[in-house]
Amino acid sequence: MAVPFVSTFQPSERARAAGAAVEVDISALKPGEKMTVEWRGKPVWIIRRTPEQVAALPKIDPQLADPKSERKPDELTPAYARNEARSIKPELLVVVGICSHLGCSPTDKFQTGAQPSLPDDWPGGFLCPCHGSTFDMAGRVYKNKPAPDNLEVPPHMYLSDTRLLIGEDKKA
């Protein structure tokens, strides 16, 4: 009689899934491509950056509000992602795709050069359509934009070269 009663204190399958880690196969992700997965009800972007995109990251530091991810580091950027690429592996970016201003989802603007709503020397990144905040290819916000912070890097770790676990970082 006590077993069914006590089992009601266990979290439901839905509750477990809401906070559970998500395993992702990234083997098909090619340079310059992005995939989106859901973790805790949020879109998480996984981007395989090209060597050119990685090489361009340090060049725009003076234009960024928080190039070294020093604001709210414990909330937004785990220790293993507090680097120029904001990632464990420079070619792979893992960020929550929600703007730090009012929660809109920025759009991909990976193409470089002049485009509507972007500067003529745009190096590639993300544009939030709600209020115009711009982020570089590491999810770092540009200066003088409505978004106060960089995009969040969720806890994650690599299980292998082709498998990523989002939501846990015990091995990191």
* φ and ψ at residue 19, rounded to 5 degrees: -110, 0
Instruction: Name the β-bridge partners of 51.
Output: none
Q: Is 156 a catalytic residue?
A: no
Listing DSSP states for 79-110 in one string gives GGG-STTSSSSTTEEEEE---TTTS---EEE-
Catalytic one of 131, 143, 159, 163: 131
Residue 55, classed as helix, strand or coil, is helix
**Cα torsion at 54, 51, 162, 156 (round to 10°)?**
0
Active site residues: 131
